[in-house]
Amino acid sequence: MVFFSLRAVQYVGETCRYLLHQPVRKEEKEHKVRLATGNGLRKEVWEDFMKRFGVSQVVEFYGATESNANLCNCENKVGAIGFGTMIIPSAYPVFLVKTDLETGEVLRDPKTGLCQVCEPGEVGQMVGYVKVNSAVRGFAGYINRKESSKKVLRNVKKHGDMAFLSGDWQCIYV
């Protein structure tokens, strides 16, 4: 990092925590890195990592190769993996649905049969609206059709709509 005068690095998973468990060295801040980007940085590691290694900004993101739903935290908000727009939700239709944390089953309104959308502070499963034949909002699926069907949630906010089911639980903070 020092030799190449890097300004940014990418981390994966627990890399930052592993680095913090290494003995302190005087060379730790002799680099020019100001930005670290990646996913899986735990909230309890975040600030210690920035302080010890002199990194001024962390950009944490969430995504999966097959997913149409991803998030990015460009605001340096410790512990956050991104944000969903509350102003124009149709512009970026990614949100959380209430899910039974024991069974993983999506909870539905008993009267309408539609999904229960999480309010700020509630834990839920992240979903992204599926727009058929869209390169960005679509879901092409897997080779195994049965597995593909498990990832598509139907009748989400209205009857007939579809969303990609991430399989990951998140929490919305305002």
Q: What is the pLDDT of residues 68-111, one digit of tens each?
A: 888 888 888 888 777 666 666 666 788 889 999 888 899 999 99
Say whether 124 sits in a helix, a strand or coil: strand
Residue 172 lies in a domain: yes
Q: 164 — phi, psi (to 5°)?
A: -80, 130
Residues 100 and 27 in one domain: no
Question: pLDDT per residue over 141-170, tens digit each?
Answer: 777 778 778 888 999 999 999 998 887 766
Residues 57 and 104 in one domain: no
DSSP state of 19: H
| Strands across the sheet containing 71-73 | 8-12, 35-39, 57-62, 71-73
Q: Which two tokens stand for residue 123?
A: 């834990």
Q: Which two tokens stand for residue 38?
A: 């990646």
Residue 67 lies in a domain: no
Residue 22 lies in a domain: yes
